[in-house]
Amino acid sequence: MSSQLFSVIDELLRSPDAVAERVRRREDLRPLVTAALLALGLGAGTFGAVLASSRGGVQLGYSAVKLPLAVLVTLCLCVPAFAAIARSLGRNIDLGGMVGLSLSAAARASLVLLAFAPAVWFLLDRGVGYHASVLISAICYGFAGLSALRVMAAGLGRDGRGIGILLCCAAVLLPTGAQSAWMLRPFIGRPAQAHVPFLRHKEGSFADAVYQSAFSSVGRYRSSPSRFCDEEICE
């Protein structure tokens, strides 16, 4: 059984087309789903712990749990919509197949994050600051997301219809994933925080934060004390 799991994980990394073919043939997807969950937990969990290494302590455990959880929550919310979009636009893929395909894409992205983990750990150990850490993690997420797209594109087709389905799925995934991660933050941990919370207070939404940051980036600070300047947030 373990050799089969490692074989599927190797397939996730080396041959997205073979993974997509498994889904299209509608063969037994249990080995694929099991291997994908294992890869997701290992890859995203390790990367989450590495992000928290500059803070240390319980933040390591928190981030190792929350990053895979953020991915799984996002998939639970998005996969039914993915299946409905694909079926409505003419792709013959059922909910079970979309679960296998989406989990495989997330697992491949997590394995890419695992590959980035040693380099990110080295940079954090060399004293990279909080804001640089956020930027580095965002770049890693971007590359991981591109690797996931390879699996989704192979499963949905690379013709015009498949690209259209992929774009519609991305329009669902991006805001949902961003909000899920926002609700489960922090992953790195601000240096000014005296205590490490498992979750921060709600403080609006991800869209609110983007709006706020857009003004702050040009020197127009619109924060209110109740939402943005309590002692757990402000540095």
Helices 160-184 and 58-88 cross at an angle (nearest 10°) of 150
**If 0-12 CB within 10 Å is exposed, 13-18 middle and 19+ buried, where does residue 99 land?**
buried
> CB atoms < 10 A from the CB of 5, how many?
16
**pLDDT at residue 211 in the model:** 57
Tell me which long-range contacts 27-33 makes (C-beta under 8 A, separation of at least 24): 29/96, 29/97, 29/99, 29/100, 31/4, 31/5, 32/8, 32/100, 32/103, 32/104, 33/99, 33/100, 33/103
115 close to 127: Cβ distance less than 8 angstroms: no
Q: For residue 12, what are its two tokens? A: 């996730």
**pLDDT at residue 234 in the model:** 38
> For residue 203, what are the contacts with CB-CB under 8 A and spacing of at least 6?
209, 227, 228, 233
Distance (Å, whole) CA 19 – CA 136: 29
- The alpha helices in 157-205, defined as continuous H runs, are 160-184
- Encode the chain (235 residues) as per-residue pLDDT tens digits: 577 788 888 888 888 888 888 888 877 788 888 999 999 999 999 999 999 888 878 888 999 999 999 999 999 999 999 999 999 998 888 898 899 999 999 999 999 999 999 999 999 988 888 778 888 888 999 999 999 999 999 999 889 999 999 999 999 998 898 888 888 887 887 766 667 777 776 666 556 655 565 555 455 555 544 444 443 333 3
**pLDDT at residue 228 in the model:** 41
Distance (Å, whole) CA 64 – CA 77: 21
